[in-house]
Amino acid sequence: MKDKAGIPLIGSTIHLKNDASIGVTANMNGFFCLEIPHSMINDTLMVHFFGYLSEILPIKNLDEGEIKSIILKEKLNLLPEIAVYSKKSLAEEFSVQRLEKLDIYLSPISSGDPLRAIAILPASTNVSETANIELRGSSGDKSCVLLNGVPINNPVRNSQINGMGNFSLFNPEMIKTQTVYSGNPPLIYGNTIAGLVEIETNNKLESENVSFSTSLANIGVFADRKLSNKSFLQLYGNYQFSQPYLYINGRNFDYLNKFSTKDIGGNLNIRFTDRLSLNTYNYFISENYNADGYMYNQQGKHEAQKQRWFQVLNLEYKIPGVGFIRFDNGIDVAKTDYKFSIIENHQNDFYLYNSLNTKYFYRNFSLHAGISFGISTVKANSVFPEYYFAIGSDFPSYEKNTDLNNKNLESFLYLKYSLNNKLITSLGFRKNLTIDNQKDYCSYQISTKFNISDQQAVMFAGGNYNKYHLPSYNLTDFHLQNAKQLSFEYNLDINSFQIKPAVYYKKEKTFDWLSESDEINALKRNIWGIELFLGKSFNSFLVSGAYTHLNSHVSIGNLKYKSKNDMNYIIKFSAKYLNKNLWSINLNYLTRPGLHYTPVESSLYLDYFDRHRPIYGTVNDAKNGNYNSIDISVNKVFYIRNERLTVFVTMSNIYNNKNQDFPIYSEDYSTISDYWYYQKRQLYFGMQITI
């Protein structure tokens, strides 16, 4: 994909005319690879790029497997142009949003990370500035991240440029698509009571490249090679370090002492035949960080080391015109060491996942059924403070050994009916088969979409969902959680304008550790929200805005309180400028109220070990100051002979706002002596050369 001068048109969109969900985005070399179902052979390929005339290519005129060069002609008039958004398939019954590689790279809020890029979506209610998935008011542990159909627990790594776990485990170069289900995700996938993020790795290699990258905190290499016409291998490795980054940004990150990460990953895809294929993804990471922090009114150092390896394997057999049979396997092994003042945790985790499923098509029906089996094992040796508020090194403590395992066997059935792509209805069931005296549960859902026209659609979804909470330092057990969800959405996508309002309601039953009492409590959380998204494109600009109203309350026993993230507004604005000469500017703005927290009203002095015990007021009765942040990124691509040099500069929190995270109390809790702040202004830059 290029212009008449031979310059690659990065980010060109290519999709089918009658099903825009079958589409791709041209990569940094202008290459794209699109797999078209045989049933769509009579369709037409649509090719678009801002400022250029669109190209229309009948599929019948293209040879299968042909490497075709497409040259777009520049528009010479200044009339307002029509831009085509990547939109949902008319035959898709769920409300989803997909992020391509360029969406990840060009967003300043993402810092090049796939999960951080989700924060710009209207359904994201992330309040932690991390890569944790917080969708529609639910905390990150309630959602699920899948890699090629296999659940990835704790997908955020701990040692990144803020020292507190801001980035995910995934390399965007390995990703083909990233699909976000904001709520009511299909029960084909288990283990989620909120939203779901489905990541699929590349199943075809567009071109062979070797890339070297360097930045303020990272050096890395990435290579992909074809093993045959149908098989390929991708490998990458990175080393992350803190010295240059802290030299430039240390004034705003005085709490961060050091961090380092070494990781290596690989994706092997083998097509034995047109029907039988194998894909295996392997990843290893070793990381550590050292950063100052507070717990209650105790200052100390967070020190952590972690080694982790996981594998995802997929074996699929396609039955043309009928369906497929697929086997998925996941293995995840991790060793973690953590220390803060008197608190210590040394933990070993093991997770095994296997699933066998099949999908069958018949006229307007499709049936998807399968069975999955997961084993989770947690072994930990921990040191806890004897008094939860006295965590200094000179206070009493006790040791606790944890040895837990959970076996989860589930079967699912998913039925979908489509009436001429006008009315699409689906029913889903997921049932556990009890093992080791587990509680019996059944998840179920219904989803309906009505396509008013090619530009308008309404959707309704509701269901009952279940998920086991994985043990953590404070919550040391496999707790079964439940959520009931309802949502209603409307989509209008006409010419260069999009409008997407949505309303939703959720009722969660879960468990949580409360720092105010150092106790594990059964909680009920009621959440309802309103979302409104508006988007517009013209010439080389893309602008969008989103408004979210989030009403969230938590019940503990018979008492009802506001949740920490009860917010009457979350406002997001994004503006992108994509230049045909291969440079772009991206601006993001986010504002919301501060989070609620439980204030300390007084304290009780305990003279037998010279310490004040905090006495808390009403749960979540106080609130931090408002949050505001503006982020900007600039990207430029240079071509030197056959090499491509990409340079990027990102500045987050441009105005260096002191956004309050939580209060820090004096020794006797009589006053708030200071606040812990979110990330202050950060400058980050680097480059990548591809040969």
pLDDT in tens, 489-529: 999 988 889 999 999 999 999 988 787 777 888 899 999 99
- What pLDDT is attached to residue 79? 28
Confidence of residue 81 (pLDDT cuts 50, 70, 90): very low
Q: Is 34 part of any domain?
A: no
Q: Is 17 part of any domain?
A: no
Query: Which carries the bigger pLDDT value, residue 253 or residue 624?
Result: 624
Q: Tell me: the pLDDT tens digits for 423-456?
A: 999 999 999 998 888 889 999 999 999 999 888 9
Share of the chain above pLDDT 70, in %: 84
Q: Is 267 part of any domain?
A: yes
- What pLDDT is attached to residue 204? 84
Classified as helix, coil or strand, 649 is strand
**What's the total number of domains in the chain?**
1
Cα dist from 29 to 2, 50, 65, 209, 391, whole Å? 9, 17, 19, 10, 54
Q: Is 9 part of any domain?
A: no
Confidence of residue 11 (pLDDT cuts 50, 70, 90): low
Decide: 273 and 305 in contact? Cβ < 8 Å: no
* DSSP strand pairing (600-606 vs 611-616): antiparallel
- For 20-173, strand residue ranges (E) read 23-25, 44-48, 55-58, 96-99, 144-147, 150-151, 156-157, 167-168
In angstroms, the CA 469 to CA 408 distance is 12
Average pLDDT for residues 254-269, to the nearest whole number? 90
Residue 476: HSE in the Cβ half-sphere, 13 Å Cα cutoff: 16
Q: Is 434 part of any domain?
A: yes
230 is written with which tokens?
């149908």
Q: Tell me: the pLDDT tens digits for 656-668?
A: 999 999 999 998 9
Q: Is 335 part of any domain?
A: yes
- What pLDDT is attached to residue 6? 59
User: For the chain, what's the residue count?
Assistant: 691
Decide: 456 and 498 in contact? Cβ < 8 Å: no
- What pLDDT is attached to residue 297? 80
- What pLDDT is attached to residue 542? 87
- What pLDDT is attached to residue 39? 60
In angstroms, the CA 451 to CA 484 distance is 26
Q: Is 459 part of any domain?
A: yes
Average pLDDT for residues 185-207, to the nearest whole number? 86
In angstroms, the CA 336 to CA 247 distance is 28
* DSSP strand pairing (196-201 vs 144-147): parallel
Could you identify the residue written with the tokens 């039953």?
509
Instruction: Please state which of the ranges 58-72, 129-143, 586-600 shows the lowest mean pLDDT.
Output: 58-72
- What pLDDT is attached to residue 42? 66
In angstroms, the CA 4 to CA 555 distance is 64
- Is the confidence at residue 97, as pLDDT, over 80? no
- Is the confidence at residue 35, as pLDDT, over 50? yes
In angstroms, the CA 451 to CA 423 distance is 6
Q: CATH no. for residue 564?
A: 2.40.170.20
Cα dist from 492 to 497, 530, 533, whole Å? 8, 17, 10
Structural domain range at position 684: 96-690
Q: Is 254 part of any domain?
A: yes
In angstroms, the CA 259 to CA 160 distance is 7
